[in-house]
Structure 1
């Protein structure tokens, strides 16, 4: 009680906070979900034995499936395991068993290992001198996940220090190793040794080499290793492009233009002293100053990146790997799209309201993803290559954004609509077993610490249902964006697919496809400015892909999916989802009741995400006798402080306990007649005493300020 009172006093003094009484301290400490609780999804989202389902393979139409059922696409919900010593590192054996079991209960069926190289090399002085205890825990966790039916995604390299010894900045963009992978044979040899030592090792707990284990579904050759992006990350006041690029770029120019005279005809800004013949052509001095020089540099990047990916992939195949391979998993530009053209699978990272630091002064924009038409989703939708698996290796709507409740409906719903294969919300672990672990990054909620955030956890809970269970349908059609080749490059190094055209992803599937494969169907051609959203949408309507009743009005910022299940309204700040098994809405305003089908959200006292989802074997919400109600408002740390009234700039993240913003919502469920009851469900899955009961059609005011403490979950029974 003393801690809660102190927190209330601190919060009352903060600018921009409506009042201390609006923030309620979380009471749970243990977050382990008991078997059979409403948050245990293993009964209807079981993870079959990997020994029986076999490896992950690709269907003829480019979807991921199990080897045992090769014609049945699978949706894989991914647990991001980006552990470091600051977040606790790899768990001991007992904890790994408990953790893997909990992941399966929460609905995860694949996990991504990120920065494992950094963890293995932390505090090590010699190259490849992996910490033996960390290596043992790493191997044991792999086995524990496999026993629980959870597949693996591996980064071939995450850390900018690789497996070089003697460094303490392994999680920082502190070296040029990702650039040198493309240019320097010695660095490439280092990467190859890293694969041999980690992936090529025999796991003593599975008795198999990691690289040959059927649980290994995907290897990302190196995380976020595009040359342009890596150059931006490492600018830090230095020239925009590394001088190491100059000689190979000059060699490439000589191969293309042959003579300086020919180059001068293509580049109006070629200086008098620059000559191909002696390799004196300079790199662009400013990546943001569009020019033919920039365009050619992008074409050079495409050639180098394509060749490097092929060489790295060939090495893994030589080691015995037979699973999926990808790389260049971020930066959705025209250039990087071309570099991904020959990959077996496409992987992408994307963020809404990105945060780059945990230090005081870190900033986000408090931006709604609904207000900009889910642009962070559309950017990567336009990076997909049709006919190949698509894996979201990282996404998040980051803490401390007051709009992050949107992520629970926005990204999983559209990932399902697009038919994406893997969805991974990024963080150092999607769950924790308890609050209060004694590690620096577990002492309070932080960006990328989704396990501690009740709002992010509520979103992941909905994702398990809407995305993995398949509540949201995949669109029946994908609109190809025609790609010719490097001739599509512009003089803008940051050029992406136009936002007015990526808005098509709010209606149906989209992706890239080679121009030569166009066969007269509906597509977005080159040049892009010759296309319009309205023309493509009208073609969809004429062919019957969307019905005459579809409510899309791009000018009004209103987009309805071709399936009729998703409606995004930018101006109202609302996303509505209506499926047989899940209905819900994320809203910044609620001026009028939202009728979603069975569920009506009559009113709410603030912005939130509200959803109901079937937990039994009923075919619809109206027929269900057991529903999960999710009500997510906002959460923050005790004593959290900002530098500004708009709460964009952090001063102090504060401490535990987590505080949930008090809120209430009025709901009605058509066709659900009594007797019924609504019970709070703790963040640990425990069902508490009912807070509402009735005998007529269900209508109730729900407050997250329950006698058992604040929560985001409620159980509806009848």
Structure 2
């Protein structure tokens, strides 16, 4: 058997080479990249289309994926070996044997749990982007089905199959042929994420353990029409060379340079000069002394030691932030260095750390930067402070869940709040509670009550079970009514105490759970508001529930907040073995090709009658497409007319604030590419280069009905979230409004035209709403929006073409976008031809004049940036093994920018350092009255990304 496998592998490798050579000229529709661990990355027409690989769901649908390859090449025996580590600790070994067949490969998988483990599914899975497959077809044993453009039921097909064919829209078929009838699930995953999945293998209810040592064998051929080009993957390490150029990083911004954004928007200092930040007109913020003038803020997060600096460094940092163009800072993950736990409590503050934090706040205030924080983020709390006799510390997420239902946890939360807000900052002379620069407060970071239901075990579980039973008894004093509400059949015994349902769903108990969680949150918010307003006399604007689980019932209590806050990430790391340790995984695929989904669902948590903030977002490292994040988020915030955006984060570590550090997942201070991308957001959003959409589409919800007689616990975001790129969206919550409906708003007033026949959560709702917008003339006849792959804002200033993988910005003062190599970005005043390496490129006027009349402009050309020596498990760079070292490396690339300037003949172009210094002139020419600037990253063996254009200097 072994010799036959080796022969088969040799043949597979040989045929793979033939397929690559032969099909390259014919542009094969499908390509497979086989890793040493047994993961197969698939590409279709040159675009990533997911990975075929073993995986599982442990009981309660806890997901586990294949660990990355550690071998650097194909094993000598030709068997790809891998491992899956279950959330509960069990391990599953995997083997893949591949054999070449005409048009593709025969794949033989063996998955073997090494310990008995309860599973909902053990499988080989292929997850496919919805943007690539919606509108396509599948054929099961000769019977056709479709991948719907709009989300419907999750299960599209579940049955034993002998043959399965997938046909993407406009693409070539991919075929699975099984050796024997094999259970396969075809699933629409869009209620959880933007994908479809093909899950090959048995489903289970998780009650009976899968025995240790029992193998699951799956065998099938994978072929494509026209052939499947096959290549065997291996780890890659990036070093300096012709393709990757070293970059010199300067952290300080040269005063008066093209990168000095301190005067981007006329501003005031100190913060608070115009009074407190207050709710303004039309769901915006304003200042108390100018209550009818909307204002926007754009800032960054600081975490851990980056908040605790010597005074001189705090001044330098505040000055830098001002010159970068920020006017807001979020103090985050601040408690660990601040609290003194030496006495056995976690609510006392260290005088030295408090002095440093006070001084930083004063330095920010002096330069006009406003501040927010959360009253609980990650403070280490002793378990005995919450449960008598307990030892150790309370895990962060457990404490978040304990505060609303445990009196000792609440008392601890309140005592820390008093210690922080009631102390006087000696550098401002004000208590934090009355500091106008402290404009906003969130109560508990990422504490939505549905986030951590799976953690409710032990004493914490007992606390929640008691609260649940008290609430049930208050709501349904009669035991029979209680049983009916829970869906318990007549005559069936009602257990005491009634266990907390395990999940939010549309079962009777799941619906009641969603109401209970929402009402528990409302009581917590009301109690905390009394503490802040009545006892501490703190007028800062308040919010809570800023991430993740947002059932409709939670939206019903958001009117208790002064503003709504949320978070989102693109390419957030997925940790394969241990939390916050390498290896980690990210999709590393173009968000533009996917229809720019980042942040779209968040737009619907907004209440349209009050301000909206985004206190965390990032297009995270080391994803190669992160340069487009500044454009996409700035544009989204501008179209939606949000009020504040904070990037996560500027720094987690004081060590990278004043000397260069290696790029990581989040920190701008050590990622000059993402720092450069910020300037797009600053121009589009803070300066307002992109106009807000003049109209809005609101989902109208009856808050009382959602809590009194819930019909669904689904998330608030509908399937047509792509409309957030087109017009303003959000929710309106009002009693007596009946079933969820859609209202079209012209301007900021909540009154508008209700469309009673449209259920916002019906599969056809997006298509119906889009048609209504066209009938009213809100979208121009040539607007290409289809809510699937093409999106264009009402104003025409933002266009996303998913199939072409092209983004276009076309405003008067900022223009450009993103495109793959070989494509163009066409705007009125700017044309960009991307000639080598996919790139994000834009031009911004620096003197407030439209681009054609501007005398000073900034051009940004972003390809990719990595650390020297960074190591990935695969050529697609989806699995990160090692971060590497300095210097940063920038991917080589060339592009040509054409500026339609009035005085093009008087223009000069300079390359810039990351601090804004002019480092050299760049040749340019005038053609047909336009300035033509050939740009390339490589400048005598060093990298550059930034350019300044002056006219008549």
TM-score by length of 1: 0.89
What is the alpha-carbon distance in structure 2 between the residues aligned to residue 33 and residue 113 of structure 1?
22
Per-residue CA distance 1:467-507 (angstroms, 9 max, x = gap): 1111011111221111123755878766342222x222111
1:206 lines up with 2:428 in the alignment:
yes
How far residue 265 of structure 1 moved from its aligned partner, in angstroms, is 3.5
Superposed, 1:114-513 pairs within 5 Å as 114-121=332-339, 124=342, 126-127=344-345, 128-162=347-381, 173-174=395-396, 176-232=398-454, 234=455, 242-268=461-487, 274-275=493-494, 279-285=496-502, 287=503, 291-318=507-534, 319-331=536-548, 332-355=550-573, 357-429=579-651, 437=659, 443-485=661-703, 487-488=705-706, 495-500=715-720, 502-513=721-732
Superposed, 1:548-697 pairs within 5 Å as 548-555=781-788, 557-587=789-819, 589-618=820-849, 620-672=850-902, 673-696=904-927, 697=930
Output the aligned Cα RMSD: 3.1
Tell me the SS of whatever aligns to 2:261.
coil
How far residue 695 of structure 1 moved from its aligned partner, in angstroms, is 4.6
Task: Choose from 276, 301, 314 the match for 1:80.
Answer: 301
Match of 2:80 in 1: none
How far residue 193 of structure 1 moved from its aligned partner, in angstroms, is 1.3
Tell me the SS of whatever aligns to 2:665.
coil
Per-residue CA distance 1:94-115 (angstroms, 9 max, x = gap): 0111110111111111111112
Bigger drift between 640-649 and 96-105 goes to 640-649
Match of 1:21 in 2: 242
1:713 lines up with 2:949 in the alignment:
no
Q: Which protein has the larger Cα radius of gyration, Structure 1 or Structure 2?
A: 2
CA distance 1:369–1:21, change in 2 (3 Å): same
How far residue 182 of structure 1 moved from its aligned partner, in angstroms, is 0.6
Per-residue CA distance 1:365-386 (angstroms, 9 max, x = gap): 2233223333231111010011
Structure 2: gaps spanning 5 or more residues: 1-71, 73-233, 738-742, 744-750
Per-residue CA distance 1:645-685 (angstroms, 9 max, x = gap): 32222211112221111111111112452132221110111
How far residue 289 of structure 1 moved from its aligned partner, in angstroms, is 6.9
User: Does the CA contact (< 8 Å) of 1:160 and 1:178 recur in 2?
Assistant: no
How far residue 210 of structure 1 moved from its aligned partner, in angstroms, is 1.1
What is the alpha-carbon distance in structure 2 between the residues aligned to residue 423 and residue 676 of structure 1?
34
Tell me the SS of whatever aligns to 2:631.
helix
Tell me the SS of whatever aligns to 1:425.
strand
CA distance 1:170–1:607, change in 2 (3 Å): farther
How far residue 574 of structure 1 moved from its aligned partner, in angstroms, is 2.0
What is the alpha-carbon distance in structure 1 between the residues aligned to residue 793 and residue 666 of structure 2?
30
1:105 lines up with 2:323 in the alignment:
yes
What is the alpha-carbon distance in structure 1 between the residues aligned to residue 459 and residue 412 of structure 2?
26
**Whose strand fraction is larger, Structure 1's or Structure 2's?**
2
What is the alpha-carbon distance in structure 2 between the residues aligned to residue 454 and residue 171 of structure 1?
37
Match of 1:38 in 2: 258
Per-residue CA distance 1:29-84 (angstroms, 9 max, x = gap): x41011101100123324312353221111142210122221111110012112x2
**Whose helix fraction is larger, Structure 1's or Structure 2's?**
1
Bigger drift between 99-108 and 693-702 goes to 693-702
Tell me the SS of whatever aligns to 1:544.
coil
User: Does the CA contact (< 8 Å) of 2:376 and 2:413 recur in 1?
Assistant: yes
Structure 1: gaps spanning 5 or more residues: 1-9
What is the alpha-carbon distance in structure 2 between the residues aligned to residue 184 and residue 241 of structure 1?
8
User: Does the CA contact (< 8 Å) of 1:31 and 1:434 recur in 2?
Assistant: no
What is the alpha-carbon distance in structure 1 between the residues aligned to residue 366 and residue 526 of structure 2?
33
What is the alpha-carbon distance in structure 2 between the residues aligned to residue 19 and residue 101 of structure 1?
33
Q: How many residues are aligned here?
A: 689
CA distance 1:172–1:152, change in 2 (3 Å): farther
Bigger drift between 418-427 and 356-365 goes to 356-365
Match of 2:290 in 1: 69
User: Does the CA contact (< 8 Å) of 1:31 and 1:433 recur in 2?
Assistant: no
Tell me the SS of whatever aligns to 2:312.
helix
Bigger drift between 175-184 and 472-481 goes to 175-184
Bigger drift between 700-709 and 513-522 goes to 513-522
Structure with greater contact order relative to length (CA < 8 Å, sep ≥ 6): 1
Per-residue CA distance 1:558-604 (angstroms, 9 max, x = gap): 111001110111222222110000001123x2544221111111233
CA distance 1:354–1:195, change in 2 (3 Å): same
Tell me the SS of whatever aligns to 1:535.
helix
Bigger drift between 427-436 and 91-100 goes to 427-436
User: Does the CA contact (< 8 Å) of 1:250 and 1:281 recur in 2?
Assistant: yes
Tell me the SS of whatever aligns to 2:523.
helix
